[in-house]
């Protein structure tokens, strides 16, 4: 988340690692009288584009709600709270909004699409939101502190089989284990390296994988909650992994690195060894598409989105999405890719413009 926050956070570790209440504390879902039309990109018939909001971060889709959801923190200057946007997945028209009292970053959903889970990083919280009504159902605030007394902040969040796994950005990092139904803390995994960044549930190995800023991929047993292994590239380079993707059939795990290494590594899930280094340059969000056997990588610094052949790793296509392409969401049928594109920040932490959301119909 995952991995990207604002310049306001650049003075902390959070800015270096992000790809990411009570119902009475927020306004109910508001539905416009007429959907707001997206700004369509006239240069590419397969791309729909709209300016959406400042502080745009992660996306998810709910088939039950027939909607795409976008977590936003809104402006970091003179604006309290954030907004969860409900969007038409085809036209990107705004169908509704939930105004939250805290700023939203990471996002996940349950398997039925009934509930959205958002990390409210600056306030060390996670909230559960009804996907249909937009009402906030519950909130959990984490109390853990770094050795210097500063809060450990939740970043990435994933749902698996009724449990939420939430990565904590701290030194050392934490992975919180939360009951998704009650939002009660069930346990936590400590000593998870410096800054827990990406999280992934592996269908191939039935393990939880976690990336961290110490350059490790942690392999976690979901029953004992023990870290069984810590994979490292062993190449003598300094790594800070961000986001993860998996090809379950071939047993490959992809990890992006946007630090000094600026590449994407491919791990063999059986041995934990690096089998390929993709020297594509700065790498942030990543998705593997099993239907098309493709890999997608956002390059925040270079302003590009890459489409790679997942067998040969050859570049198939590159989109120029300046200034800063960020997070990715792939449709379940593998034929549509959603991309968030962020704008730079001014010195006073205000945004230079609205962040964009793009829908790409893959050819």
Note whether residue 225 is domain-resident: yes
Note whether residue 343 is domain-resident: yes
- Residue 192 CA: distances (Å) to CA of 215, 231, 261: 11, 12, 21
Note whether residue 144 is domain-resident: yes
% residues pLDDT > 90 (the chain): 82
Q: Which domain holds residue 293?
A: 7-361
Quick check: 185 pLDDT over 80? yes
* Cα 123 from Cα 146, distance rounded (Å): 15
pLDDT band at 351 (very low <50, low <70, confident <90, very high): confident
Tell me the whole-structure pTM to 2 decimals: 0.89
Note whether residue 301 is domain-resident: yes
Note whether residue 199 is domain-resident: yes
* Cα 221 from Cα 206, distance rounded (Å): 8
- pLDDT tens, 31-59? 333 443 444 333 478 999 999 999 999 99
Quick check: 318 pLDDT over 50? yes
Note whether residue 1 is domain-resident: no
Note whether residue 333 is domain-resident: yes
Note whether residue 118 is domain-resident: yes
* Cα 301 from Cα 323, distance rounded (Å): 8
% residues pLDDT > 70 (the chain): 88
**Structure tokens given for 225:** 């909650």
pLDDT band at 265 (very low <50, low <70, confident <90, very high): very high
**Please, what is the average pLDDT of the chain?**
89
CATH of the domain at 273: 2.130.10.10
**Structure tokens given for 205:** 């190995």
- pLDDT tens, 10-33? 344 444 433 332 223 333 333 333
* Cα 177 from Cα 68, distance rounded (Å): 26
- Residue 52 CA: distances (Å) to CA of 83, 194, 278, 327, 329: 11, 33, 32, 14, 16
The total of structural domains in the chain comes to 1
């Amino acid at each position: 988340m995952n991995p990207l926050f604002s310049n306001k956070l650049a003075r902390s570790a959070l800015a270096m690692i992000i790809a990411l209440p009570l119902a009475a504390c927020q306004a109910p879902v508001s539905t416009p009288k007429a959907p707001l039309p997206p700004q369509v990109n006239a240069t590419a018939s397969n791309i729909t584009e709209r300016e959406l909001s400042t502080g745009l971060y992660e996306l998810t889709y709910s088939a039950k709600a027939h909607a795409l959801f976008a977590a936003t923190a809104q402006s970091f200057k003179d604006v309290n709270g954030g907004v969860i946007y409900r969007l038409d997945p085809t036209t990107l028209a705004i169908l509704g909004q939930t105004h939250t009292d805290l700023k939203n970053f990471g996002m996940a959903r349950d398997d039925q699409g009934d509930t959205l889970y958002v990390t409210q990083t600056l306030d060390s919280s996670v909230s559960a939101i009804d996907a249909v009504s937009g009402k906030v159902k519950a909130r959990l605030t984490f109390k853990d502190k770094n050795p210097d007394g500063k809060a450990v902040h939740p970043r990435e969040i994933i749902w698996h089989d009724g449990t939420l796994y939430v990565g904590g950005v701290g030194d050392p990092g934490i992975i919180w284990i939360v009951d998704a139904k009650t939002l009660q803390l069930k346990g936590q995994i400590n000593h998870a390296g410096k800054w827990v960044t990406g999280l992934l549930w592996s269908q191939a190995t039935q393990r939880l994988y976690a990336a961290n800023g110490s350059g490790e991929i942690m392999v976690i047993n979901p029953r004992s909650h023990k870290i069984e292994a810590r994979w490292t590239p062993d190449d003598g380079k300094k790594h800070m992994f961000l986001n993860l993707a998996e090809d379950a059939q071939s047993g490959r795990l992809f990890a992006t690195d946007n630090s000094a290494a600026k590449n994407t590594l491919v791990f063999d899930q059986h041995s934990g060894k690096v089998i390929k280094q993709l020297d594509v340059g700065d790498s942030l969000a990543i998705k593997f598409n099993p239907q098309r056997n493709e890999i997608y990588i956002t390059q925040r610094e270079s302003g590009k989105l890459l489409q790679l052949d997942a067998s040969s790793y050859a570049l198939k296509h590159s989109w120029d999405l300046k200034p800063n392409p960020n997070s990715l969401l792939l449709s379940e049928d593998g034929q549509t890719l959603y991309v968030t594109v962020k704008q730079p920040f001014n010195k006073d932490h205000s945004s230079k413009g609205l962040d964009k959301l793009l829908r790409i119909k893959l050819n």
